[in-house]
Amino acid sequence: MFSLEGFLDLPLIWYALIATAVFLYVLLDGFDLGVGILFPFAPTDQCRDAMMNSVAPFWDGNETWLVLGGGGLLAAFPLAYAVLMPAFYIPVIVMLLGLIFRGVAFEFRFKAKEPTRWIWDYSFHFGSLAAAFMQGVIIGAFVQGVEVTGRSYAGGAFDWLNAYSLMTGVAVIFGYALLGATWLVMKTEDLTQQWAAKTASYTLIYQALFLAAVSISMPAINADIRQLWFSLPNVFFLAPLPGASAVLIVLIWRHLRRGKEVGPFLMSFGLFFTGYLGIGISMWPYLVPFEITFRQAAAAPASQSLLLVGTVVLLPVILAYVAYCYYIFRGKVSGESHYY
Amino acid sequence: MFEHLDPVFLARVQFAFTVSFHILFPSFTIGLASWLAVLEWRWLRTGKQVYADVYKMWVKIFAVTFGMGVVSGVVLSFQFGTNWSIFSDAGGNIIGPLLGYEVLTAFFLEASFLGIMLFGWNRVSPRLHFAATVIVAAGTLVSAFWILSANSWMQTPVGFRVGEHGLLYPTDWLEVIFNPSFPYRFIHMVTAAYLTTAFTVAGIGAFYLWKKRHIAHARVMLGMAMIMAVFVAPLQLLFGDMHGLNTFEHQPAKVAAMEGLWETTRGAPLVLFGWPDQEAEITRYAVEVPKLSSLILTHSLDGEVRGLKAWPENERPPAAVVFWTFRIMVGLGLLMIATGVAAIVLYLRKRLFEARWFQYWCMALTPAGFVAVLAGWFVTEVGRQPWIVQGVLRTADAVSPVMAQSVALSLAAFIVVYLFVFGAGTYYILHLINKGPEDGEGVYGGHGMEQPPLVTDVARKKGGRHVQS
């Protein structure tokens, strides 16, 4: 049987690949969910048209990274997939329903006549809001650990629900709003852009507060994480991470103030990266905290090998044509169009 | 209030509901994408505006349907875990990579080039736009390849071994991917998708002819659809027969349920109609054609066909559902073939686009493909019960450790949301159909924008040249 096990650390490679896919999902769907979150707060209908059009060609591709994360987890770490999905049953279902309302809104809003268009405006907004909130709740519940017996989830239906996970849910809403706002600064002009820049500054402040809250609380609620971050010599290696976050927050603020268009968006990516890396380091090496490591959850080497070959060949191609699509739709959008 | 609910039953109902809803969309978009590619090709080759108009009408319907297919499909990629976590754990080594390849080879391709197909009219050259349409069409077929390979493996599992904790390990990937039922199921399903699209398009074309609107466009729709009915519908009978023989070889209990046959019989009759009674182990009120079942399945009048009693009670599929959905599927297939025959006769008499009765007939058959596809999936999925992986893992042993209450509530939520959202989608599609194609609408197709797409190029704008339609 074909296997690359002999000369590659397959579980580690797959851990990195899944982490990358989920991170790309967070960034890419993050900005279009963020646009949905900010949608009703825009000053005019024309702004809303421009906002929706700025993400319409991309949302489907962005959401595909979520399918890759889910499908990839099933393929590479089936045990983790089999434990986490029942554990987060309710938030996952609500997230999926939210994504349905968000996804259909793009097509339906274009087709709806004036008197009923508001349905799809709210469908877009609340769908995005619910999906973002539930993703945050899942992260918050995830870092607190999952109860496992044997090879199955052993907790209750509402183990994910507590003040901490609700807080991270709200944190992700503001995080995505920041991505959405800085995306709009880059992709729109005039009134929409001015409003987006102002909104980005507000959400940046909230995002900074939530980042601080999460950074302080994670070591506080778990002794192992505390040990990891604050023992010597780790503290010296890891200190640059929160430091980088702080620097990025200041830089985004200043770029927004100076009316820069691209910088805030890219640096918001950076801010997400430092936060994501921080969570990843804290959870290492668990895929189901604090029960199952990525090595224990790994699929058969033959399975990981087969998909790895495809990934190595196809992922660069995918990234190339995704980049090409962003290139095709480069430049500013406007809300000048009229619909029938 | 939920104490008596069976979590396995609920999980099955929920999965059946979401997957049945989902399959309606790809059944339509697989065929529609290919047809749109043909239309755009005809347009580029002939320069005839009618092809462009028809393309632009149907690409809007495609966009709505595809969007609904995407969101209902994302749900499924998580439901393997939320509903069938034990199966995900045990079968993940085999199913996982197949689904992973579906995402890598098809989903990204479709999603990315769909953007160009819908919004790229004035951003890329016509040739590149055509390429985007072809790529999306190819993506739908590649997607069908992988998902049907995974489904077929669960029906006819080979190329694996059972290890510790009941986990399944692949031993030969080519055997897994090209498992015994896969080629038949793939061809049968893709053909079904093409016919579903053809009969929908035919119905809409007939509607315009009946209303005496958009005559030139309607002739293209009905004419091209009838080419499919004439040539592909009879082929589907052949493919279906081959698929049935394959099932007879690998899943004989399913065939026994399809035939409503309880006793193992030499020279088994074909039961045309009847009511299989699971308790009494007989098929009541049976109308039979002697020896025909043996002839079809074994190609011999006295061939042996195993009846359901050959399996213990806990290994039998529920016969009545399988029996009846099979007859619905075959019945609709025969009506499609009859439509093709009628079309030939009318064409030779030069009345294909004029005969009123034929327009009613085609309008009546508009949903035929969807109903037949659903019925066919019920045959094959209910027919493999009580197994989730035939002969290896029982459905009842594969269910997630999730409380019945959670499943019942989420099932209710899915029903409410799907009926509302996809009901609205159907309404908008009907609206687009009623509006019909527009003559020489300009090149700005997708999303019914009358003005150019909103993404205007900075460079163009700075040059002061606003793109006008």
The pLDDT assigned to A334 comes to 67
Identify which of B367, B328, B24 has the alpha carbon closest to the alpha carbon of residue B198: B367
User: Which of A93, A151, A337 is opposite residue B82, by nearest beta carbon?
Assistant: A93
- Is there a contact between A96 and B74 if contact means CB atoms under 8 Å apart? yes
Q: Are A333 and B455 in contact (CB < 8 Å)? A: yes
Cβ distance of B70 and A101 shorter than 8 Å: no
- Which residues from B are below 8 Å from A331, CB to CB? 455-459, 461
Sequence-distant (≥ 6) Cβ neighbours of residue B435 within 8 angstroms? none
Output the CA torsion B389→B395→B396→B397 (10° steps): 40
Angle, CA of B340, B342 and B347, to the nearest 5°:
95
Residue-wise pLDDT for B323-341, tens only, equals 999 999 999 999 999 999 9
Asked if A178 has any chain B CB less than 8 Å from its own CB, the reply is no
Q: Inspect the interface and report whether the beta carbons of B89 and A82 lie closer than 8 Å.
A: yes
Look at residue B299 and tell me if it is in a domain: no
The helix (H) or strand (E) run that includes residue A210 is helix A190-221
Q: Is residue B289 part of a domain?
A: no
Does residue B183 belong to any structural domain of this protein?
A: yes
Neighbouring CB atoms inside 10 A of A272's CB total 22
Q: Taking CB atoms and an 8 Å cutoff, what residues of chain B touch A337?
A: 449, 451-454
Q: Smallest Cβ distance to B81: which of A54, A81, A99? A: A81
- B3 in a structural domain: no
Report if residue B197 sits inside a domain: yes
User: B235 to chain A, minimum CA–CA distance in Å?
Assistant: 34
Cα separation, B111 vs B219, in Å, equals 31
Distance from CA of B364 to the nearest CA of A (A): 26
What is the structure's pLDDT at B291? 85
Cβ-nearest to B421 among A86, A96, A104? A104
pLDDT digits (tens), chain B, 469 positions? 455 678 888 999 999 999 999 999 999 999 999 999 999 999 999 988 899 999 989 999 999 999 899 889 889 888 888 889 899 999 999 999 999 999 999 999 998 899 889 888 888 888 999 999 999 999 999 999 999 999 999 999 999 999 888 899 999 999 999 999 999 999 999 999 999 999 999 999 999 999 989 989 999 999 999 999 999 999 999 999 999 999 989 999 999 999 888 888 888 888 888 888 888 888 888 888 888 888 888 888 888 888 888 899 889 999 999 999 999 999 999 999 999 999 999 999 988 888 899 999 999 999 999 999 999 999 999 999 999 999 899 998 888 888 888 888 899 999 999 999 999 999 999 989 988 887 654 444 334 333 334 444 433 433 333 333 3
Alpha carbon distance B141, B129 (integer Å) = 19
Asked whether residue A259 is assigned to any structural domain, the reply reads no
Residue B24 included in any domain: yes
State the pLDDT at residue B305: 87
Contact A302 B455 (CB under 8 A): no
Confidence at residue B448, expressed as pLDDT on a 0 to 100 scale: 36
Token reading at A251? 């830089």
Residue that is written with structure tokens 């992988």 in the block:
B146
Cα-atom radius of gyration of chain B, to the nearest Å? Answer: 24
Spatial separation of the C-alpha atoms in residues B418 and B412, rounded to whole Å: 10
Domain annotation covers residue A245? no
Residue A299: list chain B partners with CB under 8 A. 92-93, 96
Sequence-distant (6+) residues with CB within 8 A of B331 are: none
Q: Which residue in B357, B55, B29 sits closest to B217, CA to CA? A: B55
Q: Could you report the average pLDDT of every consecutive run of 10 residues in chain A (340 residues)?
A: 82 93 93 95 91 89 90 92 92 94 89 86 95 95 90 90 92 95 92 93 93 86 82 81 90 91 92 90 88 91 92 92 88 56
What pLDDT digit, counting tens, does each position of B204-238 carry?
A: 999 999 998 998 999 999 999 999 999 999 999 99
Residue B40 included in any domain: yes
> From CA A75, how far away is CA A79, in angstroms rounded?
10
Instruction: Check CB contact of A226 with chain B, cutoff 8 Å.
Output: no
d(CA B12, CA B166): 22
**Domain-located, residue B386:** yes
Cβ neighbour number for residue B282 with a 10 Å cutoff:
15
Distances (CA, A) of B324 to B27, B231, B320, B328, B383: 21, 27, 6, 6, 11
Q: Which amino acid belongs to residue B364?
A: A
Which structural domain, as residue segments, surrounds residue B29?
Answer: 19-257+324-462
pLDDT tens across B435-451, in order?
A: 888 765 444 433 433 33
Q: Which two tokens stand for residue B83?
A: 């509903």
**B255-298 pLDDT tens trace:** 999 988 888 888 888 888 888 888 888 888 888 888 888 888 88
A340 within domain boundaries: no
A to B CB pairs, distance under 8 Å? 275
Among candidates A61, A74, A325 on the partner chain, residue whose Cβ is nearest the Cβ of B81:
A74
pLDDT at B3: 58
Q: What does the block give as tokens for B290?
A: 């002697």
Tally of domains in chain A = 1
The answer to whether A74 contacts B413, with C-beta atoms less than 8 Å apart, is no
Q: What is the DSSP letter of A262?
A: S
Tokens standing for B376? 């066919």
Name which of B144, B138, B110, B119 is nearest B22 in CA terms: B144
Domain count, chain B: 1
Report the gap between the CA of A120 and the closest CA in chain B (Å). 10
Residue B401 to residue A153, Cβ atoms within 8 A: yes
- The tokens describing A125, both together, are 């907004």
Q: Are B366 and B199 in contact (CB under 8 A)?
A: yes
Q: How many whole angstroms separate alpha carbon B308 and alpha carbon B357? A: 44
Measure in Å the smallest separation between the Cα of B199 and chain A Cα atoms.
24
CB contacts under 8 A, A 145-174 vs B, are: 151-154, 156-157
Residue A261 within any structural domain of the chain: no
**Residue A61 at interface with chain B, using a CB cutoff of 8 Å:** yes
Domain span holding position A170: 10-186+284-328
Give A154-161's long-range contacts (Cβ < 8 A, gap of 24+).
A154/B401, A155/A87, A156/B403, A157/A89, A157/A90, A157/B402, A157/B403, A157/B405, A157/B406, A158/A90, A159/A87, A160/A87, A160/A88, A160/A90, A160/A91, A161/A137
| Residues B23, B28, B34, B40, Cα dihedral to 10° | -140
